[in-house]
Structure 1
Amino acid sequence: MLYFVHTAIFVGGFLAALNYSFSFILIQLTGFTLATKQPAMTAPALAAKMHKVRDPEALEKLVDEIVHLMRSQFVAVLGNIMAVVPTMAVLALGWYFAFGSHVVDADKAHYQLHSLSILGPTPFYAAFTGILLWLSSVAAGWVDNWFVYHRLNSAISHNRRMTFVFGESGAKKIGLFFRKNISGFAGNISLGIFLGFIPAIATFLGLPIDVRHVTLSSGGLTGSMVSLGLEAFKTWEFWLAVIGILVCGFLNVLVAFSMSMFVAIRARKIKTPERELIYRALRERLRAHPLSFFYPRDRAAEVNLITKN
């Protein structure tokens, strides 16, 4: 609905931030996952396995952990696209049959395809969005630590007003609810603010900065294609946008994960020789089992064998 609301730049950014934040929280509360969003524990999980990188067995476990995390992110990207594309198509078609007009007009649809093209600034915007995804995970971790440090779970559970209104068991459930979800709330709200406000601020300042998130871009592309019709599938404009979205997903994941890994390395004070061991082990895994980044290792080995034969 925000598409039809014409407001000042900052008001539009604020509304977009609210829309994104609410949508991301809804995804969280319904048990789904937003693709490319780094969990708050990514960096700590990596740091925990970096204590003995000179030990071959420990290094192997670290590489396994990195591969597992990367694979989960790529699977989340695929799952998001598979969910968003048909959902957006149904909504766009439903809107058309209900109101006799497309959600996205033809001019906006062509602009959307052009903006997602791999030949444009999409890779740069996608990498920048990866940094924002990482920053949201930092915010999530900080708020989670703050919540635990100040024992807010206990404070909510034993608050007089809370126990008076909701009862002791109700107050305890509310405390546990926030303890379980506060990290996700912080990450989703901060990400929504980043994705909504930063383009508005950049436009106001005249900076060539925008965001490209694979899930949101997939929805935008689908809405545009419903508007343009089947003939648009035969155009290079569409296929360049598809490639742009695939690259967008890859860079969203790669940059966000790389930032988390950088934090883990700095936290463990890993020196250059040990870093080289990690990078070399990752390169060897990528060379020997490239599909393990997308399939579990046994399954990847089977696929590699089938491919060779």
Structure 2
Amino acid sequence: MSLDTILAEINLSLNTTPSFNDVRCLRSLIAFMRPQRSDDAQRATDNLRAFCYVLQQNPVWQKTLREYLVQVITSRKLVHLLTDTGITLNNGFWGAGAQRLFSKLLPPLVNDDYVRDIFGQIFDHPKDYVWVNAVTDEVWHDVIRAIGFRTQRVRYTHATLANEVLNAIQVLSYRITNIGLEAELVRNYPEIEKFESPFLRQNDGINEYIVRYREWLMDHHIKRDDAKHIEVLLEQCEDIASRIRRTAAVAGVSVSLTRLLLRLDQSIARLRTLLQLLDSRQPQTSIGIGTKLLKELVTADNKRHSLRELMKTNTELLSLQVTERAGKSGEHYVTNTRAEWLDMLYSALGAGFIVGFMAMIKILFGTLALAPFGFALLYSANYSFGFMLVHVLHFTIATKQPAMTAALIAKALDDSKQKLDELVELIVRVFRSQFIAIIGNIGLAMPTAFAIAWAWHGIYGEHLVSPEKAQYLLHELDPFGSLALPHAAIAGICLFLSGLISGYYDNKASYSNIPARLRQLKWLRKILGEQRLFQITEYIGNNLGALAGNFFFGIMLGSIGQFGKFFGLPIDIRHITFSSANFAFALAGMDNHMSWHLAVYTLFGIILIGMVNLTVSFSLAMLVALRSRRASFGNGGNLIRLLMKRFVSGTRDFFLPAKEQEKTAES
């Protein structure tokens, strides 16, 4: 439908029916402005300029369109659009998620009496917000001026619209007060009960402001008060929210607290926008505020059923806290001196020794006649308790490092004071620590497995792994003749998830005060005694995240392959340390009769498996860490060039600690 046809239809309908307010014509008008590609800002701009030109050439259409838009808005309730759209509702995170999922299957009923409902019908394309935001404010200002919203005729509707905005302001103020009284906020900021709360005072100020403004609407000779004193109270509310966030950086955070803070921020921002809109005395200022509000409302309405947006907005503080915890753990995986580097080597050797026995146990479990669930249960128990034992003994699994060190590097990237040279040195230390950990894991996992295999042969007179099983194990390590590399990528995803789980449970232990709550259990105190109970609960508080991460990581490694068999899917896991142990078992099972090119090819496959493990885990962890901080690789090109230059000038430093570094640390 052409623009002339749409405007002519509006003119005819309004002349025929003065109370005409059907949104069908408005939908057609937006459809004309909408470009074929949502990101085509130039086309959208051209369409809007054409719209302005047509109105300027036809004052009659301009007048009827203006009256039509006024009737569309004033004949419906505007409050809910201003108070609900773009503001997190008061239901929980899971309730909101279920509601959005259900809305995708069965859209909610549209009530024509509310502007909020018809707003979604007007901007009904899910990507409308892209072109609406892409169009410059100046173009939108021209559109508003072309319609003529500052003419004397439209000012007669000012009281009606102003009262709707005042009602919205009052609703938002009550919501802010309610949030300020929530037990979750009071718990995280007890001082709010000791002094006069700005959450309560802002509501008193808002109510007084509304009374004064409505008196001014009735009689313009009365002096109108501004909202400057309310702005001071809102800033105090925001200051308390900032303090709670800083407290959460130490004491942990929950999804419910994140949701409350998000709702508070959104409500204050919307309240501030509406107050500015009412207080604006210059047409240009009010048009600018209205344009900003329009873009905000279109964006929020388009994303109101988006599960991704719900996850992003409701868990941002929690994801930051989780990755922050992981980053603190990552500090333990970075070595600075030669002594620390050697400690990392010894720690990795210890883990490699345990993995050799874990690989043997898994092979023995594989000889049993069980259903996939039985295998999944046994394999998961082997992996989980083995990894937990590695942690308890203070050993290091190399592939666990990237999920932790990525958060550490993201933290450095987010620091505006961090120089690129310092960041390069951090990456060098991370790489060096990762390298020696891998060497340590493989360096003892293979000899341990090889020794176990021949010890088994010496005791029982037969190989732990038959020649057929040995061939199967070697095939699993074939980087190009099997799915070894995709399976290594799956293991990398599991490593990444285990890092998030570790951060989550570290946060959980801190926020929920788990050690202190355990010490309150009388029956546990009787069994362990006061001193031992304190020691155990302190250990749980400091290590719950690591233990939980290792436990769930083991479950993932042990069950994914059986899950694939049960559903007939080609999915499994390949882990570099276990792959190296399996290579040793296969070598012994073949009586050490293996051609050198097969051995080299298989070792090459193990190296590729390790690279995929580390790359996938590190990349995902880095992505989440950067998004949680709203940071990015702004200087990515310069960083890569500096890293290459550093590698050329000091290749040894990427693998071995520098002697100068050790002397500096000692001094």
TM range, normalised to the smaller chain?
A: 0.7 to 0.9
Check whether the contact 1:127–1:255 (CA below 8 A) recurs between aligned residues. yes
Q: Deviations over 1:97-152 (max 9, x none)?
A: 11111111000101111220232332222222112111111111101111111001
Query: Normalization by structure 1: what TM-score?
Result: 0.88
User: Residue in 2 aligned with 1:199?
Assistant: 561
User: Residue in 1 aligned with 2:394?
Assistant: 31
Q: Does 1:177 align with 2:570?
A: no
User: Residue in 1 aligned with 2:441?
Assistant: 80
Q: Deviations over 1:231-251 (max 9, x none)?
A: 21x253332111111111222
Q: Deviations over 1:233-276 (max 9, x none)?
A: x2533321111111112222222122222222212222463444
Q: Does 1:240 align with 2:593?
A: no
Structure 1 CA distance for aligned equivalents of residues 633 and 624 of structure 2: 14
Match 1:10 to one of 363, 373, 382: 373
User: Residue in 2 aligned with 1:220?
Assistant: 582
Cα 1:160–1:39 shift into 2, 3 Å? farther
Q: Does 1:153 align with 2:515?
A: yes
Check whether the contact 2:515–2:537 (CA below 8 A) recurs between aligned residues. yes
User: Residue in 1 aligned with 2:618?
Assistant: 257
User: Which residue type is aligned with residue 141 of structure 1?
Assistant: G
Deviation at 1:211, TM superposition (A): 1.0
Cα 1:235–1:275 shift into 2, 3 Å? closer
Q: Deviations over 1:130-188 (max 9, x none)?
A: 12111111111101111111001111223222222222111101101212321221111
Cα 1:102–1:51 shift into 2, 3 Å? same
Cα 1:281–1:65 shift into 2, 3 Å? same
Cα 1:293–1:130 shift into 2, 3 Å? farther
User: Which residue type is aligned with residue 191 of structure 1?
Assistant: F
Structure 2 CA distance for aligned equivalents of residues 168 and 92 of structure 1: 46
Cα 1:208–1:100 shift into 2, 3 Å? same
Structure 2 CA distance for aligned equivalents of residues 60 and 2 of structure 1: 50
Structure 1 CA distance for aligned equivalents of residues 633 and 430 of structure 2: 23
> Greater relative contact order: 1 or 2 (C-alpha under 8 angstroms, separation 6 or more)?
1
User: Which residue type is aligned with residue 414 of structure 2?
Assistant: H
Structure 2 CA distance for aligned equivalents of residues 271 and 50 of structure 1: 8
User: Which residue type is aligned with residue 146 of structure 1?
Assistant: K
Cα 1:262–1:238 shift into 2, 3 Å? same
Deviation at 1:280, TM superposition (A): 4.3
Unpaired runs of at least 5, structure 1: 301-309
Cα 1:259–1:7 shift into 2, 3 Å? same
Q: How does 1:45-64 map to 2 (within 5 A)?
A: 45-52=408-415, 58-64=419-425
Structure 2 CA distance for aligned equivalents of residues 167 and 288 of structure 1: 58
> What is the Cα-based RMSD across aligned positions, in Å?
2.3
Match 1:132 to one of 490, 494, 518: 494
Q: Does 1:209 align with 2:571?
A: yes
Check whether the contact 1:113–1:238 (CA below 8 A) recurs between aligned residues. no
Q: Deviations over 1:16-52 (max 9, x none)?
A: 1111111111111222111211376434422331234
Q: How does 1:86-97 map to 2 (within 5 A)?
A: 86-97=447-458
Structure 2 CA distance for aligned equivalents of residues 163 and 26 of structure 1: 25
Secondary structure, counterpart of 1:273 in structure 2: coil
User: Which residue type is aligned with residue 115 of structure 1?
Assistant: E
Cα 1:271–1:238 shift into 2, 3 Å? closer
Greater shift, 31-40 or 85-94, is seen at 31-40
User: Which residue type is aligned with residue 240 of structure 1?
Assistant: Y
What is the aligned-residue identity percentage? 34
Greater shift, 264-273 or 250-259, is seen at 264-273
Unpaired runs of at least 5, structure 2: 1-363, 662-667
